Structure 1
Amino acid sequence: MLASRRLFHQFLVDSFSTIESDRLRYMRDHQKDLRAAMYKGLTEAIVSGDCVANVTGKRIVLPASFVGGARYMIQNYQDAMTICSWAAYPDYADTSTGITAASMYRQNTGAGIGKKRARKAVAKGGSSNISQINHIPDFMHSYVESITDVKSDGNCGYRVIALGHTNNEDDYDFIKKSMLDELQLHKQDYLKIYGGGERLSYIRNALLPAKRKARRHGVALIDKWLTFPDMGHIVASILGKVVVKLTKHGASETFFPLRGVPSSNPSSLIICLGAIPGHYVHVNLKDGCPIPPTSIQWKQHCSTEAIVWESYFVDRQANFTKLMKDHMVHHKKDVRAGSKSCYPIDL
């Protein structure tokens, strides 16, 4: 049957049509029952005075397997981004069923590997050639020494941290275990930061080994990914280093250790993560470059002796704030003048 080619395709289509016809026939033959259940709830809502549609009815959570649902679409988008990180972004989309997977693989393997190597190459000086740099603030491009990509398996955030700390991204399991130990040893401190045990339990479960099987292509489940700002405090505290998150998609922040004092030269103790949609990359910053403002949560919950950390970076953070304001003013002027830039406006 599998060797029947087009006849096999026709068999699949006919089988799907048969199943779909059975579903439609059931709905046609049970209209009375279906409508009774539907109109009963609506009638009761109207009688009780609930006439606003968005607050009437029962919430139904669709599983990720439901075709066309929100979770289904998000899951497929993430799968597509993982494939693109391996084989580069497509030049065009072809939905024709006449092209087999094997032929597409043969045509794109060579180009895909070449593009993957190009993305991982270290670019110095001309940092605009790095595709990932477009996801960090424009005014920081000249301060980027290099960008290093890591494996897109859902552990990319932990891999970036391991790469910046031990120069080996495969040490990410050690990073996650150290983060778990930090949560256990200083549980009361993090309960205050997270505002209760519910968020603390979520962060803890995210660091524990997965009980369920990983998603397709070996990518970790979403609830296991590195998250900011919650985990930024943990990483900075276990490593005794400054953790910087740079991104255009949200707030860029700096995280200092919650306890302890810095060494004689804390300016060299920086790990920078570039946050792009669904992925993290390691950003190697130039010495003395601007860094984002400090996380508000750190200022509220750091120990007395740890306050000195921020004093070493005040000038660099002030420079970042100034560059950001100048960029926003310049961008607004371009918009008023009718800029032809294709980038969205950052609000």
Structure 2
Amino acid sequence: MKDVDGDGNYGFRTIVGLLGLGENDWVQVRHDLLLELNNHRDEYVVLHESHKRVEELTHILSYFEDSPSFDCWMTMPDMGYLIASFYNVVLYHLSLQQCLTFLPLRSPPVTLADRRAIAIGFVNGNHFVQVQVVLEADHPVPSIVVLWRVHHHPYASEWENAYVSRVQKFKDNIGPNVATREIFHVVDID
């Protein structure tokens, strides 16, 4: 694991480090993700079921200064879709509370040999870190986000094929307190 500067841009600093850029290139990631969101705004409104959430993400991504306030920090799982889709990577989000896999929404899959996977960890309830991992060819992976299955373009469908058995391996090895879905339906038991 590699820690990054905790100035409030740490989520974006984590991504640039994993992409091989300098930690101070976090502004570029904000620009890239804002471009992704704006270029495919209608799709993200449908995915998030809300114009309001897309406007909130626009607000978060539009902050280009040091030390942003809490309302401009990177949020997951929302940003996972943007990161995977803009950079055409497989993104693993890992924490004690939630583990998820994000796949690109619109691109056809690249070969396994050319596929790039990056992993971020969420620690201490408020900080992202780079997870530098060397993964075996058939390593377990967290569940693919539910909204990807619902909202990906048909020509992106094949991304999932390489991960079906690996997702099951992951589920077989985690405890019951780790969420493997990004959304939950609240049920009133009264």
* TM-score normalised to structure 1 length: 0.48
Q: Which residue among 166, 169, 191 is the counterpart of 2:45? A: 191
Structure 1 position 234, deviation (Å): 0.4
RMSD: 1.9
Q: Which residue among 67, 89, 94 is the counterpart of 1:241? A: 89
Structure 1 position 166, deviation (Å): 2.2
Specify whether residues 188 and 309 from structure 1 end up closer, same or farther in structure 2 by C-alpha distance, changes over 3 A only. same
Q: Which residue among 131, 146, 171 is the counterpart of 1:321? A: 171
Question: Does the 8 A contact of 1:266 with 1:312 survive in 2?
Answer: no
Question: 1:151 corresponds to which letter in structure 2?
Answer: D
Match of 2:183 in 1: none
Q: How many residues align?
A: 176
Q: Which residue among 152, 174, 177 is the counterpart of 1:302? A: 152
Give me the whole-angstrom Cα distance separating, in 2, the residues matched to 1:194 and 1:346.
Answer: 23
Give me the whole-angstrom Cα distance separating, in 2, the residues matched to 1:181 and 1:235.
Answer: 11
SS of the counterpart of 2:63?
A: coil
Q: Which residue among 56, 65, 75 is the counterpart of 1:227? A: 75
Structure 1 position 266, deviation (Å): 5.8
Q: Deviations over 1:87-126 (max 9, x none)?
A: xxxxxxxxxxxxxxxxxxxxxxxxxxxxxxxxxxxxxxxx
Structure 1 position 278, deviation (Å): 1.1
1:275 counterpart = 2:125: no
1:150 counterpart = 2:4: yes
Q: Which residue among 23, 29, 36 is the counterpart of 1:169? A: 23
Give me the whole-angstrom Cα distance separating, in 2, the residues matched to 1:167 and 1:313.
Answer: 27
Unaligned runs of 5+ in 1: 1-146, 329-344
| Greater per-residue helix proportion | 1
Structure 1 position 315, deviation (Å): 2.3
Question: 1:148 corresponds to which letter in structure 2?
Answer: K
Match of 1:207 in 2: 61
SS of the counterpart of 1:254?
A: strand
Question: Does the 8 A contact of 2:98 with 2:178 survive in 1?
Answer: no
Q: Deviations over 1:290-340 (max 9, x none)?
A: 21001111111010011111111222211101112xx45xxxxxxxxxxxx
Give me the whole-angstrom Cα distance separating, in 1, the residues matched to 2:147 and 2:141.
Answer: 17
| 1:1-347 alignment runs, 5 A limit | 147-209=1-63, 219-248=67-96, 250-265=97-112, 268-276=115-123, 277-288=125-136, 289-324=139-174, 327-328=175-176
Structure 1 position 209, deviation (Å): 2.3
Structure 1 position 219, deviation (Å): 2.9
Match of 1:6 in 2: none
What is the percentage of aligned positions where both structures have the same residue? Answer: 28
Question: 2:100 corresponds to which letter in structure 1?
Answer: E
Specify whether residues 157 and 266 from structure 1 end up closer, same or farther in structure 2 by C-alpha distance, changes over 3 A only. farther
Question: Does the 8 A contact of 1:267 with 1:313 survive in 2?
Answer: no
Give me the whole-angstrom Cα distance separating, in 2, the residues matched to 1:256 and 1:168.
Answer: 24
Rg larger in structure: 1
Structure 1 position 265, deviation (Å): 2.0
Question: Does the 8 A contact of 1:272 with 1:283 survive in 2?
Answer: yes
